[in-house]
């Protein structure tokens, strides 16, 4: 089966940029997503990118997609303590099947 | 105020009992999904439904059952046949052209 892989932990200082990386294996994926999960809560959709795009920016968030290397990244500019959470990368090519990574726990230190 | 609700937030059951988790959405989404989340792992799909009165097994359907009698509702029953039911259960809805899914707040089930 296809896998989505992420590093498990990332720690940054408040005000720095955070970059969370993800690799996926299914070249047929049409959309790639980033979700945020705070403790004890559901997943919040942050952003998504269509597979024919290289980059998408939304306020402090920048998504980069390297389709050749099947590499997706999420950059959070000016990281704040409220950004501390688990971030999930996911891929999908239809409405039946969304594949998630194990999540990256981002810790923001003051 | 549109969204997805799951109830209850915490649920405790004795081993051998069936338990039903509620999921309701008022987003007018056709598709609904149930996932299980275990510590340090991603989400695993239990069941999904693309339309009323139809549903499909996901990757880990054994020991679970669902129904979809209304568009807004997709309850999940965790049966006594589920070997390791203690987990965080997440319901989602979607089915839009971007395939995105929107999640409820989750139900933490503890079986002892």
| B50 contact A CB<8A | yes
**How, if at all, do strands A61-66 and A55-58 pair?**
antiparallel
- Provide, as residue numbers in chain A, all residues whose Cβ is less than 8 Å from the Cβ of B98: 31, 48, 50
The tokens describing B86, both together, are 């203690």
Q: What residues have CB less than 8 Å from A1, skipping those under 6 apart?
A: none
Give pLDDT tens digits for B60-93: 999 999 999 999 999 999 999 999 999 999 999 9
Rg (CA), chain A: 13
Q: Is the pLDDT of residue A89 over 80?
A: yes
In percent, the amount of chain A with pLDDT more than 90 equals 79
Q: Is the pLDDT of residue B101 over 90?
A: yes
| A28 contact B CB<8A | no
Give pLDDT tens digits for B9-60: 999 999 999 999 999 999 999 999 999 999 878 899 999 999 999 999 999 9
Q: What residues have CB less than 8 Å from A97, skipping those under 6 apart?
A: B45
Give pLDDT tens digits for A11-43: 999 999 999 999 998 777 789 999 999 999 999
CA distance B31 to B96: 9
- Tell me if A100 and B42 make a contact (CB, 8 A cut-off): yes
């Amino acid at each position: 089966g296809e896998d989505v892989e992420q590093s498990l932990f990332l720690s940054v200082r408040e005000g720095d940029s955070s970059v969370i990386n993800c690799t996926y294996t299914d070249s047929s994926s049409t959309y790639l997503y980033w979700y945020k999960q705070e403790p004890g809560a559901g997943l919040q959709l942050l952003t998504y990118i269509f597979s024919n795009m290289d980059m998408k920016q939304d306020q402090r968030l920048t998504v980069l997609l390297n389709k050749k290397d099947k590499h997706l990244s999420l950059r959070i500019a000016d990281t704040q303590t409220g950004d501390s959470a688990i971030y999930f990368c996911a891929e999908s090519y239809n409405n039946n099947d969304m594949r998630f990574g194990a999540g990256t726990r981002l810790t923001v230190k003051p | 105020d549109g969204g997805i609700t799951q109830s209850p937030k915490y649920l405790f059951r004795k081993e051998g009992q069936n338990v039903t988790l509620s999921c309701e959405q008022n987003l007018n989404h056709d598709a609904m999904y149930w996932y299980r989340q275990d510590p340090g792992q991603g989400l695993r799909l239990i069941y999904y439904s693309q339309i009323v009165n139809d549903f499909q097994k996901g990757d880990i359907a054994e020991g679970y059952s669902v129904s979809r009698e209304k568009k807004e509702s997709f309850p999940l029953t965790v049966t006594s046949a589920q070997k390791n039911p203690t987990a965080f259960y997440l319901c989602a809805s979607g089915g839009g052209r971007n395939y995105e899914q929107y999640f409820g707040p989750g139900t933490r089930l503890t079986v002892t």
